[in-house]
């Protein structure tokens, strides 16, 4: 709901500060204190970078009230060589760099594994979703200031810089996250790097944009923003379910207190001792993998479909105006599909440990009825969203209508030749 940069910054910090406290209070060992320190100092550094970027946007526009004014910065972005263009692009790049910390994307992704491992599993499940959705919503609000002008004839130096920056961030985040997850034996660290990889998939939808140049805005098959909001909601449920399952399985920890399991070996025999909890974990993990009959599968289909849609040149665009962006989007989708295949390797390791490995000694089950209910609800939601996704699609489409500042007709009319019928 922020309508100016100052309120947006305060809102983002109100998301971050409570998470610093939750991590520090969630456990009594040194790992939690170490995770709190890393998360706090890196968060402060990222916030400073983002605020520095906001200062450039304020200097270029002359006001902090930028949202709700579609032309506030668009004119400067489309003026190649204008003095204001450099400051606007620099401001957006610095702001996006600070927001990469919120979404755990490259290059501010190094904290994720240590923080996920140091915090208690319920806090980790919250940490993997709430700051991420806040960061992506803020990112979409900032990018909407440029009116999503991805048309080749409208492209300026600023637009090219932002497009290729997001493209590189998406490709690098997917690849780094999945590659590092393959090397892990700690489930929480594995899911931490998985969270980084999922941020990369979501960035693919950000690069695709709101589908202004191809197809109806409301369709998640063509609208990257609708696909992003659907995907992040499904991911939040899957991530919470996975960490709820880790909280369900307990073992003696420091100070003779029961603690949630962390290693793959601790999951051994979980399916034989607690079949329903193991089934719920399997549903959530398969959803994270993007397996069919889960909401995660639909999420990836819509993200990659919106990217492919943006890679198709509009029929009214002259052949000589073809842009390398179209080929780049095809390459980005290929990278995303290959990363999804790589991710299946470590997700299946979690299921194999639960269903095939020998029983782990000393592992018990939580008796908390709220935890059991939450785990079951997450599993049902992950499976149910595959069969009834319409409700979430409608809500995502309504939200996108408030984010995308430029209507499709305005973007298209700027690129049509005078002889092209409307």
3-state secondary structure 334-390: HHHHHHHHHHHHHHHHHHHHHHCCCCCCCCEECCCHHHHHHHHHHHHHHHHHHHCCH
- Give CA torsion, residues 227, 229, 230, 231, to 10 deg: 80
Q: Helix 324-355 crosses helix 295-310 at what angle (to 10 degrees)?
A: 170
Q: What is the CA radius of gyration of the chain?
A: 22
Exposure letters 59-81 (e unless 16+ CB within 10 A, then b) = ebbeebebbeebebbbebbbeee
pLDDT value of position 209: 82
Map residue 252 onto helix, strand or coil.
Answer: strand
- pTM as predicted: 0.86
Distances (CA, A) of 156 to 4, 25, 149, 160, 227: 25, 48, 9, 6, 26
What does pLDDT average to in each consecutive run of 10 residues of the chain (422 residues)? 88 91 79 84 92 90 72 53 64 91 88 86 87 92 70 48 88 95 91 94 90 51 87 94 90 60 83 89 94 93 88 55 73 94 93 86 83 93 91 85 49 37 36
Helical (H) or strand (E) element with 202: helix 187-208
* Cβ 97 vs Cβ 89: under 8 Å: no
Q: Which residue has the tokens 């489409």?
A: 397
pLDDT value of position 273: 86
- Give CA torsion, residues 92, 93, 98, 101, to 10 deg: 120
Beta bridge partners of 263: 186
Neighbour tally for 356: CB within 10 Å: 10
pLDDT value of position 237: 94
Which pair of structure tokens corresponds to residue 73?
A: 């910065």
Give the integer Cα–Cα distance in Å for 3 and 275: 49
Give the integer Cα–Cα distance in Å for 88 and 359: 58
pLDDT value of position 122: 85
pLDDT value of position 239: 93
pLDDT value of position 366: 83
């Amino acid at each position: 709901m922020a309508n100016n940069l100052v309120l947006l910054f305060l809102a983002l910090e109100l998301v971050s500060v409570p998470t610093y406290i939750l991590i520090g209070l969630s456990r009594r060992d040194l790992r939690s204190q170490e995770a709190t320190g890393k998360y706090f100092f890196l968060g402060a550094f990222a916030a400073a970078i983002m605020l520095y970027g906001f200062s450039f946007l304020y200097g270029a526009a002359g006001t902090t009230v930028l949202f709700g004014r579609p032309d506030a910065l668009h004119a400067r972005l489309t003026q190649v060589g204008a003095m204001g263009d450099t400051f606007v692009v620099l401001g957006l790049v610095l702001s996006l760099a600070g927001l990469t910390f919120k979404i755990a994307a490259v290059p501010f992704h190094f904290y994720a594994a240590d923080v996920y491992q140091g915090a208690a599993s319920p806090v980790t499940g919250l940490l993997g979703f709430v700051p991420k959705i806040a960061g992506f919503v803020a990112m979409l609000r900032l990018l909407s200031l440029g009116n999503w002008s991805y048309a080749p004839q409208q492209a300026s130096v600023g637009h090219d810089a932002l497009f290729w920056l997001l493209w590189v961030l998406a490709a690098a985040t997917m690849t780094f996250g999945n590659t590092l997850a393959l090397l892990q034996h700690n489930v929480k660290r594995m899911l931490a790097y998985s969270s980084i990889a999922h941020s990369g998939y979501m960035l693919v939808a950000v690069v695709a944009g709101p589908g202004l140049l191809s197809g109806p805005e409301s369709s998640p098959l063509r609208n990257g923003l609708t696909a992003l909001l659907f995907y992040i909601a499904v991911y939040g449920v899957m991530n919470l379910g996975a960490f709820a399952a880790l909280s369900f399985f307990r073992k003696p920890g420091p100070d003779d207190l029961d603690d949630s399991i962390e290693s793959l070996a601790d999951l051994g025999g979980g399916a034989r001792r607690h079949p329903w909890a193991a089934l719920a974990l399997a549903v959530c993990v398969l959803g994270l993998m993007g397996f069919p009959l889960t909401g995660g599968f639909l999420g990836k289909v819509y993200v990659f479909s919106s990217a492919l849609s943006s890679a198709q040149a509009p029929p009214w665009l002259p052949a000589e105006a073809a842009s390398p962006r179209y080929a780049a989007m095809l390459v980005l989708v290929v990278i995303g599909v290959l990363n999804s295949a790589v991710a299946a390797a470590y997700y299946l390791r979690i299921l194999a440990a639960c269903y095939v490995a020998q029983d782990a000694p000393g592992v018990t089950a939580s008796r908390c009825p709220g935890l059991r209910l939450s785990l079951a609800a997450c599993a049902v939601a992950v499976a149910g969203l595959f069969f009834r996704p319409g409700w979430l699609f409608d809500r995502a489409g309504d939200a996108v209508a408030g984010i995308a500042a430029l209507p499709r007709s305005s973007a298209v009319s700027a690129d049509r030749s005078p002889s092209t019928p409307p």
